Structure 1
């Protein structure tokens, strides 16, 4: 069997989460109609996935640090495939919710192991560049997911979207099996690392919050957008699929720019630029909407600008949180991932609980998230990293 490059395996592993969410987004209204449920109830299939994904990371981290990356990956991806197939067979909402919860658990194993592999081989800005490169591939897949999901939902039914998720899982399993050889080595005298080890580290907290808040803005858009653009604006499922794809394309561009800028700029400098883009996108969305510009593009174009900034924050936040803990990369990735998804879960719950129209809720959520993100990116990250110089200085090497 031909051996897949490790870079391809990392890209697929990090894409496991957006594939499991973005691919079936255009099918959410169809699922609601098919199962005879309301929009809020069907949105729970996404919420329960995120919740299971977030909690399971706390278990996945110790597992990949104890049993190694490869073994956990192969078992986790097998479970990912089985859960997606179970979802295609669901005839009632509780069955679908259970399948999505199991898939969230499996996805946690894939993503945490991938982040630990990156830290096994690279530290500091180098690790952030590798993370950015892997996320570029992830976002390229993300561009295709809602488009493919829209076509599948339109012509084959909502079950076809989950069948495609299962197919992706098989591809990722084969990439790991053929392209990854264990990079983890058991330390001779491992030191204990409890939750406080991570939460008391300023760089960990600042970078985890940076990634979490940035992800929250992307997640709120994913949760609410089908009901805004299909429900309120009357777009077809196929036409709607192009909108998340545009946002994923903007995220892809952001990761490419982030990786290149990290070769010449300090990490806080790159994060500040991302914060400016986030403010321009989230703030622009609020100003346009409350200024009476109630069109599809008044929501989508600012969201794309926000996602461009997300392409800066996500690799810097994820790699920056794990960087100080080379001996506990799995646990550090797990706790930071829990912070990321926990932040996203709370934001998503607040958004779905709103009694306002989906469009008004989206604008309000993006305004609040953008304001908090700006504080973390412009104040907390530079303070925690204590870096003002360009790469090459001691402070930058220690990131």
Structure 2
């Protein structure tokens, strides 16, 4: 069956429901468009990190208070994702993203014009709830259009597009602060949102046929999430995905303090280091895309987690050794910088393999509820990410030990839930 936009799907003729949707002729530019849309997450998270001190000074807010805007962003994403998924299953993929990115654009304008930290947090929350549509729905589009190894390859392409943003965003944000106000960063975010709206209007095809859409009823929605949560391949892979987020947000929250205050990095130098880690994630995601088909997605996930655990163990050992021999003017000797960065490159780099394969596994049996399942997994990830940020906030900030310990904890938890995954995926019959 063909959608009005020219993308074809396979049907189950007995039920009239979409099954494993496989495109007959998917446009080659569609992965690029999906990646551009999902990049709203790293664009909005990373580009303003170097502006925290300027933000606090401009809004007459105490040191460290800018972190509340990041917490508001993550809370908004957790709320938004669990609501956007069902909307995408009811109204299709295109309309929720159009509405979401329109509101995100207005929220970014509000951030650019905020006069107090409270206003900034409020507009960040609004922007996050709205941006959730373009963060979670493209993953459902991948499930609409492909399955198995093909889905893993397509997901890797999305990771590549998303990965370019973390390389450039903090670096550009840090450099821009030398010439322009922090408010200009949010005006740029608003322009990005407006461009996404234009692309959705002019180029994005609907990937969910009308006959495959679901009714939106509160009790039915609750029943749907309970049904999804009971499916073993979903919950185990989604928890792997969630603790992958825990690991990433541990780094995201702790690294500015570790590298700027302990090792004396400037914001621009930290932005470059941030880009180096992003290059590692992109590289591993492309290795994943190249090997899928020759190596199973499940095996790639296992190897990715194994290397992440090894990197995290090595990081903790290096930090423990470094703290036994502190320098005369630094809490940790500068010579220990290289091994710490090397261990983090391994640990964080593997998320480019773990992320796409865990999400493919989570959605493997969720063809009927791909939007809801993707949203559920995303909410779990940002909830765990918020927990990681909170933990870093209450632990000592003059040592990299909390960062290393929490990254190892996340890697080990990924391993635990990976072992608990079912050995084979079997079709799940709807409870509705």
Contact 1:4 1:178 in 2 (8 A): no
Counterpart among 381, 384, 393 of residue 352 in structure 1: 393
How far does the alpha carbon of each residue in 1:198-222 deviate from its partner, in whole angstroms, 9 at most, with x for none? 1111110111111111121111111
Per-residue deviation at 1:147? Answer: 1.1
Instruction: Report how many residues are paired.
Output: 385
Q: Residue 327 of structure 1 is aligned with which of 365, 368, 371?
A: 368
1:380 aligns with 2:410: no
Measure the CA separation in 2 of the matches of 1:149 and 1:69. Answer: 31
Q: Give the one of 104, 111, 123 matched to 1:99.
A: 123
Q: How does 1:75-154 map to 2 (within 5 A)?
A: 75-154=99-178
2:253 is the counterpart of 1:223:
yes
Counterpart of 1:284 in structure 2 is 314
Q: Distance in 1 between matches of 2:176 and 2:147?
A: 41
2:237 is matched with which residue: 191, 203, 207?
Answer: 207
Q: 2:380: which partner in 1?
A: 339
* Correspondence for 1:62: 86
Deviation of 1:184 after TM superposition, in Å, equals 1.2
CA displacement, residues 267-301 of structure 1 (integer Å, 9 cap, x when unaligned): 22101110122113212211111111734434332
- Taking the aligned partners of 1:344 and 1:376, their CA distance within structure 2 comes to 17
Moved more, 69-78 or 189-198: 189-198
- Are 2:42 and 1:12 equivalent residues in the alignment? no
Are the aligned partners of 2:312 and 2:343 in contact in 1 as well (CA < 8 Å)? yes
- Does residue 1:166 correspond to 2:169, yes or no? no
Of 44, 49, 66, the match for 1:42: 66
Q: Report the Cα offset of residue 108 of structure 1.
A: 0.7
Distance in 1 (CA, whole Å) between partners of 2:344 and 2:369 is 35
Partner of 1:250: 280
List per-residue Cα deviations over 1:282-333 (Å, max 9, x = no partner). Answer: 1221111111173443433222211221001110112221221112111111
What is aligned with 1:363? 404
Q: CA deviation at 1:35?
A: 2.8
Q: Deviations over 1:323-351 (max 9, x none)?
A: 21112111111111111111111121111
Cα displacement string for residues 239-269 of structure 1 (whole angstroms, at most 9, x for unaligned residues): 1111111111111011101112211112221
Match of 1:309 among 347, 350, 360: 350
Structure 2 distance, partners of 1:163, 1:326, is 38
Unaligned runs of 5+ in 2: 1-26, 324-331
Map of 2:200 onto structure 1: 176
**Contact preservation (8 Å) 2:298, 2:357:** no
Deviations along 1:117-152, one digit per CA (max 9) or x if unpaired, are 111111122112111111111101221111111111
Q: Which moved more, 1:363-372 or 1:81-90?
A: 363-372
User: What's 1:28 paired with?
Assistant: 52
CA separation of 1:240 and 1:72: change in aligned 2, threshold 3 A: same
Q: Equivalent residue of 2:39, what SS?
A: helix
Q: 1:233, 1:356 → 2: CA distance? A: 13
